[in-house]
Amino acid sequence: MKTTSTHRLESTCTFCSGKGYFQLLLGGSETCNNCKGTGKDR
Ligand SMILES: [Zn+2]
């Protein structure tokens, strides 16, 4: 029996939404430490 699957993006970093970096309020960006800038979760 299959479980009801949502449109969850597999292997996408939830910290940076798959972008691989964070947009800083003061300007610029910082590499996401969770995915090391790859945008993918491990
Ligand atoms: Zn990330």
Please state the domain extents for the chain.
10-42
Rounded Cα distance between 12 and 1, Å, is 25
Number of other residues whose CB lies within 10 A of the CB of residue 32: 19
Tell me the two tokens of residue 34.
């969770």
Name the phi and psi angles at 25, rounded to 5: -65, -30
Helix (H) or strand (E) holding 35: none
Query: What tens digit of pLDDT does each residue of 12-42 get?
Result: 999 999 999 999 999 999 999 999 999 998 7
Ligand 1 centre distance from Cα of residue 41 (Å)? 7
Residue 23 Cα to ligand 1 midpoint, Å, equals 11
pLDDT, position 42: 75
Q: Which residues pair with residue 29 across a beta bridge?
A: 23
> What does the chain come to in residues?
42
Whether the pTM exceeds 0.85: the reply is: no
